[in-house]
A and B are shown apart, each in its own frame.
Chain A
Amino acid sequence: MHISTNPWVWIAAFLTLAIYSFLYKDNPFYKFAEHLFMGLAIGYGAVILWYTSIIPRLWDPLAHGTSPMRFFLFIPIFIGLLTLGIFSKKFTWVIKYPLAIYIGASAGLSVPVTLEAYIFKQVEGTILTRAMVNNWFLGISNAIMFVGVLTTLVYFFFSKEHEGFLGKSARIGIIFIMVAFGASFGYTVMARISLLIGRMQFLLHDWLGIIK
Chain B
Amino acid sequence: MMVLLLLSMSFEAMDTPNDGGQSITIIGRDIPTDVKKILVFRRTEKDTVYKQVGFFSLLSMKYTDNDSIKDGEKYFYRLGVVFPESTFYYNITKPAVSTAQWFNRTRAAVLMYLILFSALVLLFIQLAKRNPEGLFIRKIPALDAIDEAIGRSTELGKPTFFVHGLMGITDAGTLAAITLLRRVAKKIAEYDTPLLVTNFDPIVMTASQETVKQAYTEAGRPDAYNEKNIIYLTYEQFGYTAGVDGLMAREKPGAIFLQGYFFAESLILAETGHAVGAIQIAGTTATVQLPFFVAACDYVLIGEELLAASSYIGREPVMLGSVKGSDWGKAVLIFIIGAYVTLGTIAGILMSTGRHTLMHIFEKLVSVF
Contact = CB atoms under 8 A, between A and B. Distances in A.
Interface of A: 19, 22, 25-26, 30-31, 33-34, 37-38, 40-42, 44-45, 83, 86, 95, 99, 102-103, 106-107, 110-112, 115-116, 119-121, 123-124, 126-130, 132-134, 146, 149-150, 153-154, 156-162, 177-178, 180-182, 184-185, 188, 192
Contact of A157 (B168, B242, B302, B327): B327
The residue in B170, B243, B359 that gathers the most chain A C-beta atoms within 10 A of its C-beta is B170
Contacts of B155: none
B109 interface: yes
B354 to A, nearest CB: 14
Given A34-B246, A38-B233, A119-B113, A127 B340 contact: yes
Contact of B333 (A19, A30, A153, A188): A153
B236 interface: yes
A185 B291 contact: yes
B234 A42 contact: yes
**A interface majority secondary structure:** helix
B249 A26 contact: yes
A129 B362 CA distance: 9
**9 residue pairs, one from A and one from B, having the closest CB atoms:** A133-B348, A41-B236, A106-B170, A41-B239, A128-B344, A26-B249, A185-B291, A181-B291, A124-B369
Contact of A146 (B305, B330, B341): B341
Nearest to B140: A158
B266 to A, nearest CB: 9
A103 B170 contact: yes
A22 B245 CA distance: 9
A25 B242 contact: no
A126 B206 contact: no
Contact of A134 (B113, B114, B250, B348): B348
B238 to A, nearest CB: 7
A71 B333 CA distance: 46
Interface in B102-150: 107, 109-111, 113-114, 117, 136-138
B242 A38 contact: yes
Contacts of B206: 83, 86, 95, 99
